[in-house]
Amino acid sequence: MSSKSVGSEHRGGDSVCNVAIVGFGTVGRSVARILLEHPPEKLRLCLIYNRGVDKKKVPWVQPHVRWTERIEDVFAPDIDIMVELIGGLKPAQDWIRAALLAGKSVVTANKQLIAQRGTGLIALARQQGRQIGFEASVAGGIPVIRGLREGLAGDCLFRISGILNGTCNYILTRMEASGLPFASALKEAQDLGFAEADPTDDIEGYDARAKLAILAQVGLQCAIDPSEIGCRSISVIEAIDFAYARRLGCTIRQVSQAEKSAGDKAQLFACVQPALVSLSSPLAQVQGAQNLVMTAGKYGGKTVFSGHGAGGDPTAVAVVSDLIAIAGRGREPGGPVSATETDSSNSSHPVSGEFSSPHYVRFIVRDRPGITAALATVLSNYRINIDALLQEPGMEKSRLPFVITLEECSNAVLERALEEILKFDFHVQPPVSLPVLS
C-alpha cells in the first residue's frame, strides 16, 4: 500500500472520501441516486464500474462521475471506498480482497459472500486497517447489523428470530389473504418482481439461512457455516393450512431462528422453516415483502426491528449509511477498523437443528374407517401426545385434509414417527408437519 494510495483516511479527517460503485443494477442505481441527490458530507461518488458499461449510462449521473468497464480503475489510488453490488461469490470476493489489499474500505450488500466468506474478509480488512460494511446484506433497509453491534452491544443476546425473506413472506401473506394456491401466489410474486425467475433460494430457505448466519455471527458471536443450518421449504404449504392455522389462532410464516444455550460450551440451534405463529405475535403482523428481526437478551429482554427487507432504495439506504459511518470514522489509531468487531473465531460453530415444540401435522387422505386410530397408535408408540384433531366440514372424501395438533415433542422424534406413518396406504400426499411457535 503506497502512502499516496488512499484518499481521505490518509489525507486527514476533513477531506472527502471518493466512492466507486461496482455493479450498476437495482441497488447500484439507487445508491448513485442518493449520493448524487443528497451528497452526504465527506463522500463523493466519482466512479461507476459495470461490464458493458455503455448500456448502463444514464443522463442523471453528473459529468464529474466517470464510467468504466475496467475493474482496475476501482483499485486506483484516487478511490477510497469500493461499493460492491454485483452479487455472487465470484468475482465479488476477489475484487473485495483486491480493494482491501489496495488500501480501500469496502461496503457490500452481498449476503451469500458475507455468510460464506465474511470471516476471512473481515480479518483482511482488520489486517489492512480498513473497514468492511455489510449492513445491507441482511434485511435490506432495516439497520439490524448496527442495531445488534452497537445498540444492543451491552446485552448478552441468546436468541435471534425473524422473517428474513420478503419473497416468502409475500407468497405466504397472499395465500393467507386470498386463499391462493402456492403456485399462483409464487407466479404473482414473479410477475410483480418480488420473486426471481428461479425462486429456489428463497422458497427453500437458502437466502434466509445466509442472512441468519450473518445475524448469528454479529449478534450471538457464533460463526456458522450457513450450509449447516437446516432449511425446510415453504412449497409444501397449501391454502387449507391457513384455514386450519386460523382455527388455532395462528398464521403461517417462514421463520428463521438461532438460539444459543447458556454456559461455557454453548450449543447453537438454528433453522429456517415454515411455522405456525400466533396471530398476536409480531411475526404474524409482517405483511408482503417486509422483514422483521426479533432479539432476546439476558438483560434487555426483547427488541424488534422491522421494515423494508429489500428493494433498491431501502437497500441503498443501508449501503449509504455504511459509507457515512466509514467516512465519519476515518482511521483514528485504536478506533474501530471493521464493521463488526464480533468476528473473533475462524472456526465455525457446530449447529443443531433439534428442538421441542407443539406441532401441527396436516394429512391428506382417502378417507376410510380407522385412520385416526392408526395414527394415534404410531404417535403413542413414540410417546407423542395428541392435543386436538381438526377437520373442516364438507371436504371431498377421496382427498380429505385434516389436522392433528401435538403437545410439545421433539422434531426429530416426530420425523421418525411420520416416516412410519407414511407407510400407511391411505395417504394422497405426504403429511406436512409445522412447529407451533409460542
Q: Is 435 in the site for ligand NAP (CB under 6 A)?
A: no
Q: Is 315 in the site for ligand NAP (CB under 6 A)?
A: yes
Question: Which of residues 85, 100, 375, 436 is near ligand NAP by CB under 6 A?
Answer: 85
Residues 6 or more apart from 176 whose CB is under 8 A from it? 242, 251, 252
What is the C-alpha separation between 402 and 69, in angstroms, rounded? 58
* Catalytic annotation present for 211: yes
- Name the segment binding ligand NAP (CB under 6 A); options: 6-14, 249-257, 305-313, 426-434: 305-313
* Nearest CA-CA partner of 421 in 367, 379, 373: 379
- Cβ neighbours, 10 Å, residue 392: 13
Q: Is 91 in the site for ligand NAP (CB under 6 A)?
A: yes
Size of the site for ligand NAP (CB under 6 A): 22
Q: b/e map of 243-256 (b: 16 or more CB within 10 Å)? A: ebbeebebbbbbbb
Question: Which of residues 11, 25, 67, 201 is near ligand NAP by CB under 6 A?
Answer: 25
Q: Is 51 in the site for ligand NAP (CB under 6 A)?
A: yes
* Nearest CA-CA partner of 66 in 105, 34, 20: 20
CB-wise, 170 or 242, nearer to ligand NAP? 170
Question: Which of residues 47, 115, 122, 310 is near ligand NAP by CB under 6 A?
Answer: 310
Using alpha carbons, list the distances in angstroms from residue 314 to 109, 290, 309, 319. 11, 11, 7, 9
Helix (H, G, I), strand (E, B) or coil at 195: coil
Residue 335 in grid coordinates: 478506533
Q: What are the φ and ψ backbone dihedral angles of 80, each rounded to 5 degrees?
A: -100, -35
Q: Is 284 in the site for ligand NAP (CB under 6 A)?
A: no
Of residues 42, 104, 211, 260, which has the active-site annotation?
A: 211
Q: b/e map of 142-156 (b: 16 or more CB within 10 Å)? A: bbbbbbbbeebeebe
Question: Which of residues 23, 118, 147, 205 is near ligand NAP by CB under 6 A?
Answer: 23
What is the C-alpha separation between 329 and 331, in angstroms, rounded? 6
Q: Whole-number minimum distance, CB 164 to ligand NAP, in Å?
A: 11
Amino acid in the structure at residue 11: R
CB-wise, 107 or 434, nearer to ligand NAP? 107
Q: Whole-number minimum distance, CB 35 to ligand NAP, in Å?
A: 15
Q: Is 199 in the site for ligand NAP (CB under 6 A)?
A: no
Q: Is 321 in the site for ligand NAP (CB under 6 A)?
A: no
Question: Which of residues 12, 41, 52, 370 is near ligand NAP by CB under 6 A?
Answer: 52
CB-wise, 77 or 87, nearer to ligand NAP? 87
Spatial contact of 398 and 429, defined as CB atoms under 8 Å apart:
no
What is the C-alpha separation between 271 and 229, in angstroms, rounded? 5
CB-wise, 210 or 379, nearer to ligand NAP? 210
Spatial contact of 256 and 202, defined as CB atoms under 8 Å apart:
no
Q: Is 86 in the site for ligand NAP (CB under 6 A)?
A: yes
CB-wise, 291 or 295, nearer to ligand NAP? 291
Query: Which residues between 129 and 188 bind ligand NAP (CB under 6 A)?
Result: 136, 140
Residue closest to ligand NAP (Cβ): 25
CB-wise, 51 or 298, nearer to ligand NAP? 51
- Residue window 92-111: x/- pattern of binding to ligand NAP, with contact defined by CB under 6 A: -----------------xxx
Residue 40 in grid coordinates: 452526504
Q: Whole-number minimum distance, CB 291 to ligand NAP, in Å?
A: 10
Question: Which of residues 7, 28, 162, 199 is near ligand NAP by CB under 6 A?
Answer: 28
DSSP 150: I
Q: Whole-number minimum distance, CB 367 to ligand NAP, in Å?
A: 46
Sign of CA dihedral 329, 224, 26, 188: negative
Please list the active-site residues: 211
Q: Under the rule (CB under 6 A), what is the footprint of ligand NAP?
A: 23-28, 50-52, 85-87, 91, 109-111, 136, 140, 310-312, 315
